[in-house]
Structure 1
């Protein structure tokens, strides 16, 4: 990775990775992380098994479950075969590092890779729809697909759809916002090779945010699908909620003003700087303006944030960004 140029450069070399030739029916590696998921894991696996695109393999990293999760997984292995469902022991360092640990496992081979949470339900055409978008994408660079979700509660009752984002996906957006949930994401093999560059020594805010940040930063293609592909379960044990209600947004603003945004940015910037050589020249400039703004006096800080061009996807989000800028909470 050290000598690699940004992927939008004409002579950018491709990372070395396992490439498959079955373009008509590509293999999708589903990367599913579990931890004490006995209550919902069967519904999620059933929704994967029932996909309209059937050329998949499920790779599961369990982070030390003490309930019946592993027994449930053994039952599915017997049902669908160990060659199609493999279980690994996770690093026991949180969900984000568990996901990224799977990115680095040599045993995991596929053409594309989908992140999966243990308590959601995939719509039947999730994989097929994701792959259809890839058919129009460049085969020579990293590509990320993501979509909206449908939030639902304990009784599987459908609720509202996640916000429709209309601003284009970009590195300028990724620096200050995670675009979509990892549970909707599909990346290609080149995208996976990029993510392998993330050192395990770093604290990771979320695997979906860092995926968006890295792939957009190097000039890769980010596809945002306005149609939902996942039923995103909301319950008291959610590690990350939907941030849909007014109270959710107020709580999020409190976190931003309380210093969480600073901490999140600190962690993300350490990671993106470790991969800075892969960024496009334009994104390097954006990054430098944003980093300098965080250390600057009031007027200079505002000028540098404007120059950087960073933005969030909603009016409310941009207002909170402006407040964070004024109060030096970047």
Structure 2
């Protein structure tokens, strides 16, 4: 059994709202006054209306807390709850939200503070999620439309065509957190790993968790939000040669190997939740990482790891050869 978050009420399962499932929007904020109103307004413009936003503010020093309070007065506490974040960075903030025992819903949606959701974002996600069994972890994600600071279109995120899978998740994250919507069973996996899971970033971790436990991931090629690009983005556009060169630099600086080590350790702690094929893939991957060149390359091949593009797989082979995985 997957352990659930502890709750102060007797029933830890989501409310029985089969006709109109409730979505908990998990919003992480930190000094976001400039763009936050547009993001909040885009929630209110959703074609699907049964949602409640939970804003975890990570000790903002600007007008973000005031803005949140203003919207709470306008919408009511039944639509917006405000809590204090752990003040330990983006990943910890989102994981603390996802594992907060006060938050119980049928589905959950991560949200950054500076994007703009398309009006059908939640509806598109629920159209797929509601076709999946409730007791199996399921994750929805999508492409994004890149926009500049003034909300002008500047491009679309890369289209991934290979299937989402654990063998892909080990070496690449195709699921952008700001597009993610997931069911209660997937949320229980985050609870099982805990708010303090030693992982690089919350969205990659959820992609790993769901696929590792045999859950389906749906990558929607239709952009569901406007992903704003600006100077203080933690993670920005992943397209173009500039982005590719940045990833190459991180690769040869050992960042991917560092993240892989974190993920392997964190997944091994959840061994009882993993399906048999995942355990085999993880074992082969973990063993190959510490072998000499030829056994390392053979081990990675047997593990079946892959990235989404031909160029990405060339980079993966080079990284494997130089011991950077």
Matches within 5 A, 1:221-300: 221-300=216-295
RMSD value, Cα:
1.4
2:13 pairs with 3, 13, 18, which one? 18
Rounded to whole Å, the distance in 1 between the matches of 2:133 and 2:169 is 21
In 2, distance between residues paired with 1:43 and 1:281? 45
Deviations 1:92-145 (A, max 9, x none): 111111001011212112110000000000000000111001122222201000
- CA distance 1:2–1:219, shift in 2 (3 Å): closer
Q: Give the C-alpha shift of residue 201 in structure 1.
A: 4.0
Tell me, yes or no, if the aligned pair for 1:32 and 1:117 is still in contact at 8 Å.
yes
Match of 1:85 among 71, 80, 87: 80
CA distance in 2: counterparts of 1:28 and 1:101, whole angstroms: 17
TM superposition score normalised by structure 1: 0.94
Structure 2: state its 5+ residue gaps.
Answer: 5-10
| 1:160 counterpart = 2:155 | yes
Residue 203 of structure 1 pairs with residue 198 of structure 2: yes
Aligned to 1:219: 214
- Partner residue, 2:8: none
Which residue number in structure 2 is paired with residue 76 of structure 1? 71
Going from structure 1 to structure 2, the CA distance change for 1:139 and 1:166 (only over 3 Å counts) comes to same
More moved, 181-190 vs 270-279: 270-279
Answer yes or no: is the 8 Å Cα contact 1:150–1:230 preserved in 2.
yes
Structure 1: state its 5+ residue gaps.
Answer: 5-15
Q: Deviations over 1:146-191 (max 9, x none)?
A: 0010111112111211111011011001111111210000110111
TM-superposed deviation, 1:3: 8.9
Pairwise CA distance, 1:314: 1.2
Secondary structure of the 2:77 match is coil
- Whether the 8 Å CA contact 1:146–1:186 is kept in 2: the answer is yes
| 1:21, distance to aligned residue in structure 2 (A) | 1.9
- Given candidates 313, 318, 326, the residue that maps to 2:321 is 326
Cα distance between partner residues in 1 of 2:223 and 2:201: 20
Paired residue secondary structure (2:143): strand
**Distance in 1 separating the partners of 2:132 and 2:24:** 19
Whether the 8 Å CA contact 2:138–2:210 is kept in 1: the answer is yes
TM-score (normalizing by structure 2): 0.95
